Amino acid sequence: MNKVISTLSSLFRTPEVRSKIVYTAVVFLVFRIFAHIPVAGVDVTHLRQLFSQNQFLGLLDVFSGGTLRNFSILALGLNPYINASIIIQVLSMVFPKLEELQKEGEQGRQKINQYTRFITVPLALLQAIGMYALLRSQGIITTLSPLLLIAFMLSMVAGTMFAVWLGELITERGVGNGVSVLIFAGIIGNIPSVIGQTAATSNAESVFSTLIFLALGLVVIAAVVFVNEATRQIPVHYAKRMRGNKMYGGQSTHLPLRLNQAGVIPIIFAVSLVLVPSLLANFMLASKNAQFIGVGQFLTYWFNPNGWFYNLFYFVLVVAFTFFYTAVVFNPKKISEEMQKQGGFIPGVRPGTQTATYLNSILTRLTLAGAVFLGFIAVLPSIVRGMTGIQSLVLGGTGILIVVSVVLETYKAIEAQLVMRNYEGFLKR
């Protein structure tokens, strides 16, 4: 606790870190201002009533950064960009050139981001069409002229690209990962309205259920912090080597393998995909084709947020993306090769292939435990709603996981900035 207080007290005494925090806060403010600029032709009052009765739309609003309830020009949020990132990650495993770009440092990263933005535009357009069909089917949009319809689509796409730009600004010049930070801002911004809705419909029984929900929330927060900070320490020894008249190596250190190596990214990826069938269902139900209506009814039945198949599908997606993203960010073969080049070895394990196999076996077991935990957190809101009967508390395990994870990652990023500055000051002396 003292370490946290000392770190926070050092923030405003460090000009570089202070400027980054202020810059992030300004981007937050811009994001929230644009989140309240509605799109023309939408009955916002009717839309809010629809959101209060639909858990699927409430969850979608959480991951749009809180912009969908007002149906602002940022209504689609960062979902198209996240889906485009998933596509790029999958394609990088198929096409070697994309994988080579990811290894080319800053220049390769910029090229990958450019490709991701190119894919984001058509995905945002498709989601805008699906959103229009949904609002039209609910009577929130009655008639739109062709010119207004084009303006509606362009506003949605432009809002998504503007949100992507704000996220990249935070990543480059602010603190933390821009996409995660903006989703975090949307979740935090929705908390007062969620509390207000719950209080307005509360009675003696619902108050007791709310207290249970809050107590469970504290347990989830503690579990998230524990899992995010849990690591398996793999001992690594370095052999002594002579170079000229000097001896190098001989140290003993450790390789930390985190229980939750992927962080909050699998949840965000999984939510972006699990919402697609419901969007398609709303689009098909609004059509006049009998076959499309049948498919829409099929998707609506099986992908009901309260149904067992929806939650099972969500759970499987989270587990799959946890393994997928862990494989992307941590390569046991590459780690073993780097250790061998530096003269490092794990006691009792031969360097090279056996080290890679050993690290992969440990990482697989850790990832399985972390993936099951993330999957449980993802479906926890449905379980809690079934136990307590509270339907207005959309912010559940997923939202708590994102909030806690972003806070921890941002704190670590700030702490790293402070350590680097102190280290540079020490070198100057």
**Pairwise CA distance, residues 393 & 59, whole Å:** 10
Other CB atoms within 10 Å distance of the CB of residue 143: 8
pTM score, whole prediction: 0.71
User: CATH number for the domain including 212?
Assistant: 1.10.3370.10
Q: How many domains does the chain have?
A: 1
> What is the per-residue pLDDT across 102-145, written as a single tens digit (0 to 9) for each?
767 677 778 888 888 999 999 888 888 877 777 776 666 766 67
The sheet carrying 231-238 orders its strands as 252-258, 231-238, 344-345
Tokens 């069409």, residue? 129
Domain extent for 327: 13-428
Is residue 276 predicted with pLDDT exceeding 70? Answer: yes
Residue 212 lies in a domain: yes
Is residue 362 predicted with pLDDT exceeding 60? Answer: yes
**Pairwise CA distance, residues 272 & 86, whole Å:** 9
Residue 328 lies in a domain: yes
Residue 2 lies in a domain: no
Tokens 């309260």, residue? 306
Residue 8 lies in a domain: no
Residue 123 lies in a domain: yes
> What is the per-residue pLDDT across 54-113, written as a single tens digit (0 to 9) for each?
555 666 666 565 566 667 888 887 878 888 887 887 787 777 787 777 767 677 778 888
Q: Identify whether the C-beta of residue 60 lies closer than 8 Å to the C-beta of residue 190.
A: no
Residue 7 lies in a domain: no
Residue 6 lies in a domain: no
> What is the per-residue pLDDT across 18-35, written as a single tens digit (0 to 9) for each?
788 888 889 888 888 888
Q: Identify whether the C-beta of residue 133 lies closer than 8 Å to the C-beta of residue 126.
A: no
Residue 159 lies in a domain: yes
Other CB atoms within 10 Å distance of the CB of residue 219: 9
At 426, the pLDDT band (50, 70, 90 cuts) reads very low
At 396, the pLDDT band (50, 70, 90 cuts) reads low
Is residue 398 predicted with pLDDT exceeding 70? Answer: no
Residue 168 backbone dihedrals phi, psi, to 5 degrees: -70, -35
Other CB atoms within 10 Å distance of the CB of residue 112: 18
Range of weakest confidence among 64-68, 209-213, 284-288, 358-362: 64-68
